[in-house]
Amino acid sequence: QVELAESGGGLVLAGGSLRLSCAVSDRHFSNSAIGWFRQAPGKEREFVGAISWSGGATSYVESVRGRFTISRDNAKNTVYLQMNGLKAEDTAVYYCAAKPYSGYYYVPQRRSEYGYWGQGTQVTVTS
């Protein structure tokens, strides 16, 4: 059982920054890779980025590469999504998800690979 809780969403002006947090509770030490996904109204939930359970590897969708950064704070069992240079098209509900028993440097990118999901946090970017 892996529990996740996102926080940090809100309203931000275009060009601004926002940091999302994903608190991870992994009581069974399942070594989860953590992914970030987003879903805009009327659209499919899409992959944003992910980090391996070791923190040694990351992957990002092309549209956010260079602007978003995923990191892990092992002491706090928290994964962060730092979003810089936000654009209106980044507006969506952002979800973090966990893939337990992931490889040391494996970065899952498919929704079907993740077994646990947070409740989501709304990010709205205005011009």
**Cα(102)–Cα(33) distance, rounded to whole angstroms?**
6
pLDDT per residue of the chain (127 residues) written in tens, 0 to 9: 889 999 999 999 999 999 999 999 977 667 899 999 999 999 999 999 999 998 999 999 999 999 999 999 978 899 999 999 999 999 999 999 999 998 999 999 999 999 999 999 999 999 8
Determine the Cα–Cα distance for residues 71 and 62; give it in Å rounded to an integer: 18
d(CA 77, CA 16): 26
CA nearest to 51, candidates 102, 13, 11, 16? 102
